[in-house]
Amino acid sequence: MRKKLIVVGPTPPPHHGVSLFTNNLINSDLKRHFKIILLDTADRRTKPNMGRFDIVNIYLGVKHLLKLFMLFLIYRAEILYVPISQNILGFFRDGLFILIGKVFRASIVIHLHGGIFDRFYNNAPHIFKKFIRFALSNVDRAIVLCDRFVNIFDGLIPAEKVRVVNNGIDCAISEERFRDRGRRKRDSKEKVLFLGTLDKRKGFIDIIRAIPYIIKHNKNVEFVIAGKWHFQEDGEEAVRLIEEFNVRDYVKFPGVVSGNEKWDLFLGSDLFVFPTHFIEGQPLVVLEAMMAGLPIVATPMGCLECMLKEGVNGFFTDGSPEDIAEKIVYLLRNKGLREKISEYNRKEFLEKYTWNKCVENLVKVIKEV
């Protein structure tokens, strides 16, 4: 008989990493193993409202806590799954979710989708640290995204209760389409791709600053910087630098891309650059690049440090324009190496980072409790 599992988490809209993960999870193979009961914690307002201290978030927090209490009364679920926050308001709610679960003697599985929980804990007020410690002392399993984060709960959750489950995405690029990628290129230019939120902290400005160094060695190159502008001032700086460096002919901004347009963009590129300054969790866009077989140039932030191997998946950069340029020029000069990395990244994606593999590993962890 399947055990009853309460899954706490937001569903879209708005669309962001955790809401998409929750939506995929409740519609996944998890249903074959557990009877799923969803507590949808979505705030249907825009993404910037997440984690803010305002009357609506307080109302939603109280509403969701009461609803969880009622769900336990009605269904008597044996397991509670909670993706935890890394801010005070969010974790206060999540901690209360955990404690309600323990009142009903449920096994508690938490899932950390980020990579700064240790920093959040260390910077929290003393009294709130006590609350964090008390809440986490009731956890039966804690899931992190990669080996780098297995110690992120040191002193809070015993190491034997921590498990690694990599992110995963559906394989949207068939093997036939992957093999046919060379013919998808519309011209002979070598294409360098950045895709993500156009936020200076993601490193796309550093890519623009690297272009003058790169075109000294290779003028047959085009930089495609795709995504949504996050701050107007970042867009203004990008335009100013492009004019200052006189590189307008080398840069394209296609905006937000999705569906087949996005996959065609990946398949028509020669390498992917992600010089983020964030402590990333496990960026899905890097998994997408691996799916498309792109060599990757990235900073060793968050899970990227243990996901990617130097010279095997691509190259690490320190994030400076000069170093970004050096790594890009080297890869553009070495087509044979790019092809070797391409095959490796595609193979590694299929072995480790598909959505089915993610769910399979998640089921194993939940069944442990």
CATH number of residue 238's parent domain: 3.40.50.2000
In this structure, the answer to whether residues 283 and 362 fall within a common structural domain is no
Overall domain count for the chain? 2
pLDDT at 43: 82
Verify that 84 and 216 share a domain, yes or no. no
Q: Do 228 and 197 contact (CB within 8 A), yes or no?
A: yes
- Res 282: pLDDT: 93
Q: Which residue ranges in the chain fall short of pLDDT 70?
A: 45-53, 183-186
Clarify whether residues 198 and 242 are in a common domain: yes
Per-residue model confidence as pLDDT tens digits over 93-117 = 999 999 999 999 999 999 999 999 9
pTM, 2 dp: 0.92
Query: Which residue is listed with tokens 């034997």?
Result: 160
Task: Show the domain range for 267.
Answer: 175-352
Check whether residue 197 and residue 92 sit in a common domain. Answer: no
Report yes or no: 228 and 253 within 8 Å, Cβ to Cβ.
no
Q: Are residues 203 and 154 in the same domain?
A: no
192 lies in the same domain as 275: yes
What pLDDT, on the 0 to 100 scale, is given for residue 251? 98
pLDDT digits (tens, 9 = 90+) for 276-301: 998 889 999 999 999 999 999 999 99
Same domain, 359 and 275: no
Q: Which of 3, 8, 138 is nearest to 75 (CA)?
A: 3
Strands (E) located in the chain: 3-9, 34-40, 79-83, 107-111, 141-144, 162-164, 190-195, 221-226, 251-255, 271-274, 296-298, 314-316
Pair 156, 244 in one domain: no
Q: Are residues 41 and 77 in the same domain?
A: yes
In a shared domain, residues 71 and 96: yes
Residues 45 and 150 in one domain: yes
- pLDDT for 18 equals 83
Do 26 and 112 fall within a single domain? yes
User: Is the C-alpha dihedral spanning 322, 326, 329, 332 positive or negative?
Assistant: negative
